Every structure is written in structure tokens, then in C-alpha cells.
Amino acid sequence: MREEIINVQHLSYQYPSGDLALSDINLSIGMGERIAVMGSNGAGKSTFFLNLNGVLKAQTGGIYYRGKKVGSKELKELRRHVGFVFQDADSQIIASTVEAEVAFGPMNLKLPREEIKKRVTQALEYMDLQSYRQRPPHYLSGGEKKRVSIADIIAMQSEVILFDEPAAALDPLSVDLLEQVLAGLSREGKTLLISTHDVDFAYRWAERIVVFDGGKILADGSPLEVFLQEKVLKQAHLKKPQMLKVYETLSERGLIEPESYPKEAGELAKAMIG
Amino acid sequence: MRRHKRHSHGVTSIDFYACQSRLRRWNGCYKVCSVAVILTVCLVLDNPWASVLVILTMGLINLRGNGVSLCIYLGLLKIPIAFLMLGSLAVAFGISSYPVGSMSISLHWFYLYITRETLIKALQLFLRAMGAVSVLYLLALSTPASELAAVLRSMHMPKLLTELMHMIYRFIFILMDVQQDMKTAAVSRLGDADFKTSCTTFGQIGGNLLILSLKKANTYYDAMVSRGYEGDFPIWEEQKSVKVWQIILLGLYIGVLLAVAVISK
């Protein structure tokens, strides 16, 4: 069993307009977990992330970070440990050069100048952005901006990173790069939560899938557990991953090893009979 | 460097060149101060030869150091030149009721005349103003607005203003992009069919931009808070030291300008 890093208990969040965005959310997140958060638009994923990150403060229920309840005083601490990569990089990038942008978070942490410089350099190297250091963000492409917005969070050295639909509006090459970065972060023991509509990606990448529907958690389990529940898929308007469909078809005809559930083309080839 | 998508002219192109200028690595304060000094010297000397020297050297630095092509640079100078020409013409010509000066044109009721003195004066004025324009272009083409804000900050300008400068600099480009997208979308639906439709479209885009800005402002605020913003907007500034040879270079340049002015007198 993994050490628990975040525990959400009976969390409900209501927007000032009166819309109940989250109701009675209970979730325990372990260190280093790879979680895909799924659900249709308006299901409450982004609101949930904003709560986890400490930007929004829930009216009832609470968040426990490493066993300690997060009160108004600890919100700052929560933001330090939980980073949030926004969906639209243009709504996140605030500074007028890439370097200044990546330094914004560490500067808010009131770190010494040398440390900030070190972290900025590391984060830029991590995202392969060294040559963009002095550039203003408005001369970058969409994929490059996304990389900057991820470098922003890497420089803060958060233990938990939330990605809000990171692959939206990225070209295939940028998506590949993104997946490499996600794999790297995961290897380093970061806890990653990604909200996504891409069932194939979720099936392949995640260890655990949490499905939101109408502000509630509809399902929570391994990708296989979630995607085998037809009822859940129907209610949350999710499609079955292609790889799972292929497996099921082959399984009906007895062409694949039972219970093999391949996740990638390579695994599929190995599991085929004959 | 990627050129800004569509509007690569005017303000955007000045910003573009400022960002990729080789002089960008130089200390911002040094650039602002030297521009102020050269500008003052050029204006105070009021010497045509010194002015020509300033125009030529600044032009050379703008072309070489700031990497602006001759064609673009002339394009940038076009508007100030047009204004200065008109202004200088007004100085060169005088009005009189009888023919005077070295040349006069009869316009039935009065005479337009030019004398040698007014001509020289107009030329001198033109060169002096052109020198000043070239010097200011040197600053504009080598220093992005964010760096200017940093200089103002180090001169103890109120923090509120410099923070605003930074944010406006960032958001003006987003606003321009969004406006351009909306305009394209409107034009693709014949939003510019005739003058009246164009006006309506323009108004609607303006209104939409306002609503969108308000909405975006919320997202921005959330994004800033999520990275630890607590009401104090810290701005990372690269520390660029002033080299001794740069100061000597400026001194020498001013010396040469003064020498030219003295000799030509």
C-alpha cells in the first residue's frame, strides 16, 4: 500500500452563483500515483483541481495533505506542494520572457536568487527550452507555450502535479513529447493527476481512473475496472478504449490469451495466439 | 525566432526586433542613459554635421546591432520623415506681399518666398529632428517594453505602474491575437460585406473582447494564485552588468560629436 499524500473528505463546493459544482467527494491519493480524471465537460473536474490546489476553498468537507487538515492558513502550503498546469497555456503565462515566467512561481516561494536561477535552468532543461530563455511568450507556438507552462510548475518542485487537459490543441509531436515528460515525472516519484477526454490515453497511461459525473465521483478504480463497467461508460458518456475493444473482439474468437488485456500494440502482438 | 502570426508590422515588428536585437544583452539602464545623453547632445549642439553623424551612426547600429533590414528601417523612418518634411517646409517658406528672398512664387494675392537663411534653418531643423528620431529608434529597437519597465522600476517609479506596464505588455499581444481571430471569423461569415455591416462587426468584436477579458482575468487570477501569488507581483530581472568599454565607447562617441561640431563652426 502506498503512503497517502492527499485525502479528500466529504468535499462540497458551491460557486457563488449557486451552482453546486462538487458534492461529497471522497478520495484518497497515494504518493506517486498516476491518476486520470475523466468525465464530460462541466462534470466538476476543473473545480476539483482548483480545490486540490488550494485556489478554491470548499464550503464543507476538507482536504488533508499528508494527514494534516488544510485550513485557511495551510492553503499557501498546499499551493506550494500541489502544482496546477492550466488547460490554456495563454491563461497561465504571465511574464514577458520565458525565463521570467518560469521564475514567477519560485519567486513567490521567496527563494534566494541563486536558487531561483538554478531551478529555472533545471526546469528549462527538463522541457528542452534553454534556447527560448529570453524570448517573449507571444512569439512561441502553442506546443512551446504548453512546455513553458509545464516548466512553470517543474520549477516549483511540487510533489503533486495537476494537468487540466494537457493534450488539448496540441499537435501529435507535442503530444508525444508531453507523454515523455509525464513518464519522466512519474519515474521521479511525482504524483500526477490528469484530466482528459482521451480514453485511449487514460487506458494506456493511468494506474487509476476517477470518473466524475454531475459533481460526484461515479467510478474510481483501475482502468480495467472502470472501462469494463458498461453502466459507468454510458452515464459518463465515455467510449471504450480501442485496445480494449480489439481485445474483446479477439477474445470472442479465441485469438488472444484470456485475461491478457494488452494496453499497447506491442503487448497486443505478444498476447495474440497463433 | 517565430515571427508573430499575422500582424508583423508597426508596433509588433518594433517589438519583434527589440526581442532579437544583439544589443538586448546590454544593460537596460545603460541603454536608456546613453540614449538620453546622445539625444541631449544632438539637440543642444544643433549642428547639421553632428546631426548627420548621429543619423548615420544610429542607422548603422540599428541595421547591424539591432538586425533590422534596410527596407524595414526606411519603412519605420517613413512616417517621421513625412512629418518632419512638412514641418521643415513650413519653416523654409515665408509669406510676403511683395517679392523678396532668393526665390519667390507669386500666388496672386501674396508671394511665397524662400531665403538662403530660412532654407538652411529648415535643413538644420530637419537634420536635428531626424537625429533625435534615429536615437529614439535605437532605444525602441533594442529594448523591449518589459525591459524599459525594469529600468523605470530601478529609477523608483511606483511599483503599481511598472507592474501594470509588465502586464499590459503581455496582454496586449493576447488581446491582439484574439481580436484578429474574431475578425477573421467575422470576415469569413461576410461580416465586412458593406460599410454598415463592418461597423456593426467592429462594435460587436469590441464588446466581445471586453466580456472575454473579464472572463480571462478570472482565469489569470486563479493561475497566479495557484503559483503562490499573494498580492505582490514579483518580476524576474536578468542582471546585466555595464562593461567599462561600453562607457568608454559612449564617452568617445560624445567626444567625436563635440569635435565635429567645433570643427565645422
Which residue in chain A is spatially nearest to B217 when comparing CA positions?
Answer: A91
Give A266: exposed, middle or buried? Use CB within 10 Å, 0-12, 13-18, 19+. Answer: exposed
pLDDT per residue over A15-47, tens digit each?
Answer: 888 888 899 999 999 999 999 999 998 889 999
Which residues numbered 144-163 in B keep a CB inside 8 Å of some CB on A?
144-146
A171: CATH: 3.40.50.300
Neighbour count for residue B69 (Cβ, 10 Å): 10
Closest alpha carbon within chain A to B19:
A135
* Nearest alpha-carbon partner for B134 in B220, B42, B69, B206: B42
pTM: 0.83
Domain contains A125? no
Count of CB pairs separated by less than 8 Å, A with B: 101
B24: pLDDT confidence band, cut at 50, 70 and 90?
confident
pLDDT of residue B4 exceeding 80, the answer is no
Domain count, chain A: 2
What are the two backbone dihedrals, phi and then psi, of residue B145, each rounded to the nearest 5 degrees?
A: -55, -35
DSSP run (H or E) holding A10? strand A4-14
- For B222, which of A50, A99, A105 is closest by C-beta distance? A50
Q: Which one, of A145, A171, A139, A89, lies nearest residue B5 by Cα?
A: A139
Same domain assignment for residues A68 and A161: yes
Do A171 and A251 lie in one domain? The reply is no
| Residue A233 and residue A245 in one domain | no
Mutate to test the interface with B, among A91, A96, A110, A154 (most CBs of B within 10 A): A96
- pLDDT tens for residues A193-215? 999 999 999 999 999 999 999 99
Question: What is the 8-class DSSP label of residue B103?
Answer: E
User: Between chains, do B220 and A91 touch, taking CB under 8 Å as contact?
Assistant: yes
Instruction: Answer yes or no: is pLDDT of B10 > 80.
Output: no
Q: Say if residue A246 is in the same domain as residue A164.
A: no
Q: Are residues A226 and A252 in the same domain?
A: no
Is A64 a member of any domain? yes
Residue A161 located in a structural domain: yes
Same domain flag for A233 and A252: no
Contact A109 B228 (CB under 8 A): yes
Residue B2 above 60 pLDDT?
no
pLDDT score for B103? 78
Q: Which chain A residues are Cβ-neighbours of B3 within 8 angstroms? A: 139
What is the structure's pLDDT at A182?
93
CB atoms under 10 Å from CB of A191, counted, come to 23
The verdict on A196 and A261 lying in the same domain is no
Distance from CA of B7 to the nearest CA of A (A): 12
Neighbour-count burial of B70, counting CB atoms closer than 10 A to its CB (0-12 exposed, 13-18 middle, 19+ buried): exposed
Give chain B positions within 8 Å (CB) of A74. none
What does the block give as the cell for A169? 490543441
Segment A180-201 mean pLDDT: 93
Q: Are A170 and A185 in a shared domain?
A: yes
Residue A90: inside a domain: yes
Rounded CA separation A54/A193 (Å): 15
C-alpha cell at B95: 509669406
Cβ B238–A116 below 8 Å, yes or no?
no
CB-CB neighbors (< 8 A) of A105 in chain B = 227-228
Site from B20, B227, B238 to mutate, A interface, most A CB atoms within 10 angstroms: B227
pLDDT of residue B237: 81
Q: Which residues of B touch A107 (CB under 8 A)?
A: 234, 236
| Strand bridging mode A191-195 / A160-164 | parallel
Does any domain span residue A89? yes
Compute the 3-state secondary structure of chain A and give helix, strand, coil in percent, each to the nearest 5: 40, 25, 35
In chain B, alpha helices (H): 10-20, 28-45, 48-64, 70-92, 116-142, 145-154, 159-188, 195-226, 244-264
- Taking an 8 Å cut-off on Cβ atoms, the answer to whether B15 and A136 are in contact is yes
Query: Which structural domain range is residue A30 located in?
Result: 4-98+155-237
**Which region holds residue B73: left if phi is over 0, alpha if psi is between -120 and 50, else beta?**
alpha
The three-state DSSP-derived secondary structure of B116-178 is HHHHHHHHHHHHHHHHHHHHHHHHHHHCCHHHHHHHHHHCCCCHHHHHHHHHHHHHHHHHHHH
Within a domain: A138: no
Do A193 and A253 belong to one domain?
Answer: no
Interface touch A139/B167, C-beta < 8 Å:
no
The average pLDDT across B143-169 equals: 87
Backbone φ, ψ for residue A41 (5° rounding): -60, 135
Same domain, A162 and A58: yes
pLDDT by residue (tens digit) across A107-136?
A: 998 899 999 999 999 999 999 999 998 888
Structural domain contains residue A19: yes
Q: pLDDT (tens digit, 9 = 90+) per residue, B231-261?
A: 888 888 888 888 899 999 999 999 999 999 8
Contact A104 B146 (CB under 8 A): no
Tens digit of each residue's pLDDT (9 = 90 or more) over A4-21: 999 999 999 998 888 888
Distance CA A237, CA A244 (A): 17
Are A214 and A250 in the same domain?
no
CB A192 within 8 A of CB A161: yes
Residues A160, A272, single domain; the answer is no
Name the one residue in this structure whose C-alpha cell is 516519484: A189
Q: Are A38 and A197 in contact (CB under 8 A)?
A: yes
A220 inside domain: yes
> A219 — phi, psi (to 5°)?
-150, 150
